[in-house]
Amino acid sequence: MNDYIESRLDLKPSSETLTDLLAAALAEAGYESFVPDETGLTAYVRREAFDAAAFDAACAPILEMLGAEAETSHNVVEGRDWNAEWEKNYFRPILIDGRVAIHSTFHTDVPEAYYDIVIDPKMAFGTGHHATTTLMMRRLLSTPLAGLHVMDMGTGTGILAILASMLGAAQVDAVEIDPFAHENAVANAALNGVTLSSVVLGDASALAAVKDVDVFLANINRNIIVADLAAYVATLSDGASMFLSGFYEEDVPVIVEAARPLGLSQADVTVMDRWASLHLVYHKNPLTE
């Protein structure tokens, strides 16, 4: 099991806006999981990826901008049964739009829904509780997927890939950069009786062999999306949809500007608690062929 660094910020004053901004900044510094509360934010990063200077550099501008102060601490969290931790502290069964119930194997109070997804999250992102995951699941629920090829980049727990398969996608591929999350996604697919076409351990370079994707999913932070957009586009069939999240509404113009030269045009944007989901449509042009 992986060891993590648990970084705590006790904030004065604390607000949802402040903890959201700090979480977004720390995600870009390598942090994977976040637990906000009334007095601050707890964030987790793999022990080998922890950099105290990078942590301070990510937080300082936001604290200064909002006139807040923070008492910080960093503690080692040794590998443990993360299912038990989530059950005890964070993860509760949820129902999305009355259609998808998300719960773990240790839950008994599970709401009834047409789509029942079992997720044992361990330390991987994607239980449906975060606004970005909910936004992406709503995208899938409103998109006819029968017979289509879906690609889920940065799959985390595998929750989006699992739902896509349940919705009738003919082929569902997934990529995850974190070894522990990759293992978790494979296990969660098996828990749900879902056979994914592939779950590859790697970064955007793993997309080189992927072609003819009809629906591309990426719930990742803005900077990674912008950096890897060309690799995403290289997988797409003409007329494909790309659903993106993991960023704020004010980040949308930055992504659209980077997407336009690659043959992607904006279809629409949905927003939840300031987090955004962007729908782009791909049409081949000379710049992308």
Q: What percent of the chain has pLDDT over 90?
A: 60
pLDDT classification of 288: cutoffs 50, 70, 90: very low
- Residue identified by tokens 């700090």 is 22
DSSP type of residue 48:
G
User: Tell me, what's the pLDDT at 52?
Assistant: 95
**Structure confidence by residue, pLDDT tens digits, 138-193:** 999 999 999 999 999 999 889 999 999 999 999 999 999 888 788 889 999 999 99
- The larger pLDDT score, comparing residue 233 to residue 105, is at 233
- pLDDT-based confidence at residue 1 (cuts at 50, 70, 90): low
CB atoms < 10 A from the CB of 112, how many?
Answer: 8
What pairs with residue 123 in β-bridges? none
Q: Compute CA distances 154 → 37, 91, 93, 283, whole Å.
A: 26, 20, 23, 24
Q: Which amino acid is at 181?
A: A
Structure tokens at 213: 């994707």
Q: 67 and 17 in contact (C-beta within 8 Å)? A: no
d(CA 194, CA 245): 24
Angle 140-153-167 (CA atoms, 0-180°, nearest 5)? Answer: 25
CA–CA distance, 224 with 58 (Å, rounded to integer): 16
Q: Which residue is it, tokens 């704020």?
A: 248
pLDDT digits (tens, 9 = 90+) for 19-38: 888 988 898 888 877 888 88
**Which pair of structure tokens corresponds to residue 137?**
């699941």
Rounded CA gap, 43 and 1, in Å? Answer: 18
How many helices (H) and strands (E) are present in the chain, helices listed first?
8, 14
The mean pLDDT value for 7-30 works out to 89
User: Which residues are 5's β-sheet partners?
Assistant: 45, 76
Q: Single out the residue of 124, 135, 96 nearest to residue 246, CA to CA.
A: 135
Residue 83 has pLDDT above 80, yes or no: no
- Cβ atoms 171, 150 nearer than 8 A: yes
